[in-house]
Amino acid sequence: MTAVGEHPHMVIRNADPVADAAACAAIYAPYVTDTTITFEEVAPSAQEFTRRIETAQVHHAWLVGEVDGVIIGYTYGGTYRPRAAYRWSCETSVYLDRGRRGAGRGRTLYLALLDRLGEMGFRTAVAGATLPNDASERMHADLGFETIGVFRRVGYKFDRWCDVTWVQRDL
């Protein structure tokens, strides 16, 4: 499937767990090593990304965005909570190559995921973002997410405590 609107040249498709794992790992690694956007402290390997993609695709989705045949970002949905009562809700995330941010591609990619999850029957998407993160807060608000709360000082990375805001959106 191809994205429409702002980025007609970006192709959005289902991730291939083996062929796309290294590109996804490479996009994610700087977020791990250089930011508090994720609380992981060691960048996962391509093999770990293969496992993550396969797991997400069992009940949810993992999509990649390509420009000129190069993966520039990915987005995925996963289990929000394991209890059966939460089975119609999912947790979502999106990562873009850091040199490609700010042009709306992440929004286009993320919107494709939200549409896909809605088509799959999911009712609610939730997402967490470490604060401060103006770009993520703005994108989520623009896509109709509402803030549901802030968990204060719940993550510790780079010798400091971090807050995480949680947002949700009906699908």
- The whole-angstrom separation of Cα 1 and Cα 13 is 6
Q: How far apart are CA 107 and CA 4, in angstroms?
A: 12
- Going from the C-alpha of 91 to that of each of 37, 77, 79, the distances in angstroms are 15, 6, 6
Q: What is the pTM of this model?
A: 0.92
Residue 116 tokens, joined? 């896909």
In a structure prediction context, what are the per-residue pLDDT tens digits for the chain, which is 171 residues long?
Answer: 433 334 558 999 999 999 999 999 999 999 999 999 999 999 999 999 999 999 999 999 999 999 999 999 999 999 999 999 999 999 999 999 987 666 788 999 999 999 999 999 999 999 999 999 999 999 999 999 999 999 999 999 999 999 999 999 999
Beta-bridge partner residues of 76: 62, 93
Burial 7-33 (b: 16+ CB within 10 A, else e): beebbbeebebeebbebbbebbeebbe
